[in-house]
Amino acid sequence: MPLTAKKLVTNEAMQPIAVQIDYADWLKIEALLEQYTQKPIESPHNTTVWQNQWCELAQKIDKAWKSDKSAVELLGEMRR
């Protein structure tokens, strides 16, 4: 979508508080928003499965960790 001409609305302190756009541009944006909201939302079950897989991986890494230093300490040394 090409950039839309806009006007910033500011308060007395010149801080942006709103944006004005042409009505035709708003109709295009509104149509896009409606398309986006009509897409099915990922079910919580899939998210839970994904989170469980990450937790299992973290536990495997924790059990196999052989260094006295934490991962954060090792990364800190690598950045030097």
For the cut 80, the answer to whether the pLDDT of residue 28 exceeds it is yes
The total domain count for the chain is 2
In percent, the amount of the chain with pLDDT more than 90 equals 26
pLDDT at res. 21 = 92
Could you tell me if 40 and 67 are in contact, meaning their C-beta atoms sit under 8 angstroms apart?
Answer: no
Same domain, 33 and 48: no
In a domain, 58, yes or no: yes
In a domain, 26, yes or no: yes
Same domain, 71 and 49: yes
Same domain, 48 and 31: no
pLDDT tens digits along 4-17: 788 999 999 999 99
pLDDT at res. 64 = 84
For the cut 90, the answer to whether the pLDDT of residue 2 exceeds it is no
pLDDT at res. 80 = 66
Residue 4 corresponds to which amino acid?
A: T
In a domain, 57, yes or no: yes
In a domain, 1, yes or no: no
Global pTM?
A: 0.41
What domain range is 71 assigned to?
44-79
SS3 12: coil
